[in-house]
Structure formats: structure tokens, C-alpha cells
Amino acid sequence: MSRTNIVVLGSSNTDMVIKASHLPVPGETVLGGQFFMVPGGKGANQAVAAARAGAQVSFIAKVGNDIFGQQAITHYHQEGIQVDTIFQDPTNPSGIALISVDAQGENCILVAPGSNAALLPQEVLAVQNVICEAAVLLIQLEIPIATIEEASTIATQHDTKIILNTAPAQPLPDSILNRIDILILNTSEAQYYTEVMVENWETARLAADAISQKCPGTIIITMGAKGSLIKEENNYFQVPAEKVNAVDSTAAGDTFCGVLASAIARNMPVLDAVRLASNAAAISVTRLGAQTSIPYWREYSTASN
């Protein structure tokens, strides 16, 4: 029987967002902002994006034994996400992100990881059956590398495709990179791993070539308003981004990853999956917030056909 479900391994945060005219520089106070609080965290955002794309999603994460953690689990359940693989930490608080957004939709984010940093390899082992039975394992880098290593080992042993989003960028061992089926990086992350400044299609291709020396899988470099470059084996594809009026770029990358994972789980070709994910991400930047901005399948599937 074919497998179409997705496991997301990653972080869960509560986002505290202030939207203002501009982002403050050190020592500056910016008045007149609008405040709102929404569920976030890269893992959670991607899980919600995949679920709203119609995927059956299990979320492996860790939250604090506090009001933020309890609210998060309730919210994920309401989104149709399987929450019996979410652990509660008796010691550390739930993760918190402080997000500033300017009038052009650019943001800066400060994260206190809390319980996310305490998601342990043995906890992944305890729920490994969901990874063994999944079509796709989707991972980001807001949890311990040792935990990612354990999950990627399990996935490889059971032919579960691994999609890794290198956010936030940090050193990765070759043992993980060698297992990745699809690696997703933005321009700053690509520069972190290759020292190539990605400014256009040509430099994106150079960066993809450099990354592929350690990661034999498909490379996708997202370039914001320019679009995405795909390197699949020895083939390169350019996917321009839809032109929209951006309000808030928070979770645009997570929307892309979650929708892409749902498409890959349905055996959609990578190029078509990227086009679909790009359309969903374009919608998300026209809305405020993280998970509040993530669209549903019906909003972008028609435009992608």
C-alpha cells in the first residue's frame, strides 16, 4: 500500500508580533505598533501548511507544561494534525518568538527555544513507528541536531523521503546531508553553506552546485520575490514567483515547505510541487502573522493547474 502521510519533526512556538512602520535599530524605540499573538515555530508552521494542503500530518515536537503549550496542542488538534507524538516538558517553558514586521513586510525574529531545545533522540525513538510508516519526513533546524540525526536514520532505514529546510542555518554533519532527498534553502542559508552570495539565477546555480557536493539529493533555493531555483540531478529549473503586494513575509518559507512536502507525498514531480508551493507562499505574504497567513488548498490549487 502506498504511503501518503507526512511526519513533521520540529519546533512549536508562540509568536508575539508587533507590526510597525520600520524595524528598530539598536537603541531605538518605535512607537505606534500593532500587537497580536499567534501560534508559530517553523515545525508547527510547516505542519499546519501541510495539513491545510490536505495531507495527513503527524507532528513530533515538545512544548512546555504551561498555558502556551496547552493552547498549542489544542490548536494543532483543531487543524487536523495528529498530536499524540507531541511531548510535554515538565521543566522548560514553551518556545517563544518575538517578531517585528515593517511596512514593507520584512521581519526580524528573536526566539527563546525553551522546550524545543529539549526534544531528545530517545523521544523520537519512542514514536519512530510514525516515521517508518510515512511517505515524507519534513525537518527544520530549530531542534537539536542529534535528534535530527536519529530521525533521519530511522527514515532512511524505512524508505521515508526526507525533506530538510535549513532554517535557521547552522553546521550540519555529512551523515545528515547524505540522507536528504530534498534540501530547501533561502539565499542567506545558501550563502552560509557555500559562501556564494545568491543574487540571481546564475549565482543560485553556483550555490546549488556547491551544496550538491555534500548533499546528493534535489536542491531548492528559494529567492523571495525572484522565485526558486531547482537542481534535480544534472537538471536546473527556474520557477518565477507570482507578483503580489507583500504585507508580512513571516512563515512564507514554512508555507512553501509544508505545501511542497504534501505534494511530494502525493508523488507530484518536484517542478510541479515547487510551482504549487510558490503559489501558496505568495498568498501567505499578503497576510499578517505566521499560521494565520497560511492558505488552504482550495486557495491556490486551481491557480497551479
250 assigned to a ligand binding site? yes
Cα distance between residue 47 and residue 53, in whole Å: 10
User: Which one is catalytic: 181, 209, 254, 272?
Assistant: 254
Question: Peptide bond preceding 168: is omega within 30 degrees of 0, i.e. cis?
Answer: yes
14 assigned to a ligand binding site? yes
How crowded is residue 238: how many other Cβ atoms within 10 Å of its Cβ? 13
54 assigned to a ligand binding site? no
209 assigned to a ligand binding site? no
Residue in this structure with the C-alpha cell 520540529, named with its chain if needed: 10
Nearest-CA neighbor of 53 among 300, 303, 237?
300
289 assigned to a ligand binding site? yes
4 assigned to a ligand binding site? no
Directed axis angle between helix 270-284 and helix 252-265, to 10°? 150
- Positive or negative, the CA dihedral 34, 40, 42, 45 is negative
12 assigned to a ligand binding site? no
222 assigned to a ligand binding site? yes
Would residue 254 show up in a list of annotated catalytic residues for this protein?
A: yes
43 assigned to a ligand binding site? yes
CA atoms within 13 A on the CB side of 94: 26
Sorted by sequence, the CB contacts under 8 Å of residue 260 that are 6+ apart come out as 163, 182, 184, 220, 273, 274, 276, 277
One-letter amino acid identity for 236? Y
89 assigned to a ligand binding site? no
- Residue ranges of the annotated binding site for ATP are 186, 222-227, 253-254
Binding residues: 13-15, 41-45, 142, 186, 222-227, 248, 250, 253-254, 284, 287, 289, 293
As annotated, the active-site residues are 254
- Per the annotation, binding residues for substrate are 13-15, 41-45, 142, 254
Binding residue numbers for K(+): 248, 250, 284, 287, 289, 293
